[in-house]
A and B are shown apart, each in its own frame.
Chain A
Amino acid sequence: MKYTKEHEWLRVEGDLVVVGITEHAATQLGDVVFVELPETETQVAEGDEVCVIESVKAASDILAPIDGEVVAVNAKLVDNPGLVNEDPTGAAWFFKLKVDDLSVLDQFMDEDEYQDLIG
């Protein structure tokens, strides 16, 4: 698993990159009550706002960590936004990106580096 400084996790699954938010981010957000997902088959560029998460406290965006094509979204989050708090690094993935070259992930933090960031 790789981590961004925006508190997203990235996991490789075959030739796809699965994206979610870290437990730290979920805790900071508080109880999530609304999730808006991107359309599938859309091209996104690094830094694009692709998802909206609303917690009891505030609205925040999930940014595309890398360029790619959204090939799948986790529709379960729309019906059950609380999943983001229950299982942020497992069942509550947000979207899957198809990328040209998986080596773009090398630039991101590993677990230890991320723990240092939030520690």
Chain B
Amino acid sequence: MADLEEQELVHLGLEPLHEQLGGKMVPFAGYRMPVQYPDGVMKEHLHTRSAAGLFDVSHMGQVILRPKAGMDDLKLAFEALMPVDVLGLAEGRQRYGLFTNDQGGILDDLMFTNRGDHLYVVVNAACKAADIAHMTRGMPGVSVEPVTDRALLALQGPGAEAALEAVVPGVAAMRFMDHRVIGDVWVSRSGYTGEDGFEVSVPQAQAEGFARKLLAQPGVAPIGLGARDSLRLEAGLCLYGHDIDTTTSPVEANLTWAIQKARRAGGAREGGFPGASRILKELAEGPERLRVGLRPEGRAPMREGVELFAEDGTPVGKVTSGGFGPSVNAPIAMGYVARAHATLGTQLLGEVRGKRLPVTVTEMPFQPTTYKR
């Protein structure tokens, strides 16, 4: 059985490099991916925050959307799938988006970029096939083209700019959420760590050489998925399938910043996305529950699934992601709590191994972000 599962895992192009670097390969969303290197999660996490970390995120889905009848037609078709302003996104800029379902739940979260005559989209690995089917079905006037011949690398941390500039001159001038096509590489100034940094799409044939050039720059170290998770948790960023899913609405998930004015009540293109009635209602009246940051008082981490209670013992919610934050040097978590208990500073109790331990509703991110705006 284990052998069968092993065979079904997708092997990506950079696997030989990971193995040479001592990466511990594990199954993740159907792919064999490095969870850590010999330095381990803690050191890799801290290294990313103090220097630069190179992540292989080639398992994620890259997709090109081409219009059959003009860019405005494509943008409006894409808007019909998301509560997000696509029309207003300038060329060369990237934006966060969410596919919603008819109940207002989240099918996936994604990044999309206006590249002039087409859109470039990056979606989660586990949702890739469903997203492509969803886009193909939902946008008949659009050509949905999965990009299958490119690797995706992320270079994150204060040393990322200098390291990437040495390999791809010109990137230092980019700002947060800018996107540029430079020769064969597609560069976005964004990431999933809360740090300044880049995501770079590279043709598969050049990917290993490109990664090696980056690793040869001062301060650049390979970082696994383990540290990627603790970094994004400190940055207060959602992990699809854990912090957001088909049962959570964008408003409950505290992602209202991703719903621009144009799509809200009174906006130029109000509604017109799946689940609009629930989402617009929650925007107006507030949701029943809200995703919040949580700081356990002691040293015991509160992990996914920990039940949360009010001080009087009433159940009020659940942790959806939690662990130890190496940079904040304390346990941190996020989860959903009933709105009455979601105010910053509210004291709650989280049940860990049968004991109810104090935890405080806290602002996110836990670690200040350093985006280059």
Q: Which 6 A-B pairs have the closest CB atoms?
A: A31-B42, A33-B324, A56-B41, A34-B299, A54-B301, A34-B300
Q: Closest B residue to A36 by CB, please name it.
A: B300
Q: How far is the CA of A110 from the CA of B331 in the complex (A)?
A: 37
Please tell me the size bucket of the interface on B.
10 to 19
Answer whether residue A59 sits at the interface, using C-beta atoms and an 8 A cutoff: yes
* Chain B CB within 10 A, most for which of A33, A54, A58: A33
> Do the beta carbons of A57 and B301 come within 8 Å of each other?
no
Interface string of A52-73 (1 = CB under 8 A from B): 1010111100000000000000
**B23 CB, min distance to chain A CBs, angstroms:** 14
The 6 listed contacts between A and B (C-beta, < 8 Å) are A30-B36, A34-B324, A54-B301, A56-B324, A58-B303, A81-B299
Residues in A whose Cβ lies below 8 Å from that of B326: 31, 56
**A58 CB, min distance to chain B CBs, angstroms:** 8
Task: Give B318-340 interface residues, CB cut-off 8 Å to A.
Answer: 323-324, 326, 331
Residues in A whose Cβ lies below 8 Å from that of B300: 34, 36, 52, 54
On B, residues with C-beta under 8 Å from A are 36, 40-43, 45, 226, 230, 299-301, 303, 323-324, 326, 331, 353
Q: Closest B residue to A85 by CB, please name it.
A: B40
* Chain A CB within 10 A, most for which of B299, B326, B331: B299
> Do the beta carbons of B299 and A33 come within 8 Å of each other?
yes
**B136 CB, min distance to chain A CBs, angstroms:** 37
Q: A30-B226, A56-B323 are in contact. List 8 more A-B contacts (CB 8 A).
A: A31-B40, A31-B41, A31-B42, A33-B299, A54-B324, A56-B42, A57-B41, A81-B299
Residues in B whose Cβ lies below 8 Å from that of A33: 42, 299, 301, 324, 331
Task: Give A17-59 interface residues, CB cut-off 8 Å to B.
Answer: 30-31, 33-34, 36, 52, 54, 56-59
Q: How far is the CA of A54 from the CA of B326 in the complex (A)?
A: 13
Residues in A whose Cβ lies below 8 Å from that of B42: 30-31, 33, 56
**A35 CB, min distance to chain B CBs, angstroms:** 9
Residues in B whose Cβ lies below 8 Å from that of A34: 299-301, 324, 331
Q: Closest A residue to B299 by CB, please name it.
A: A34
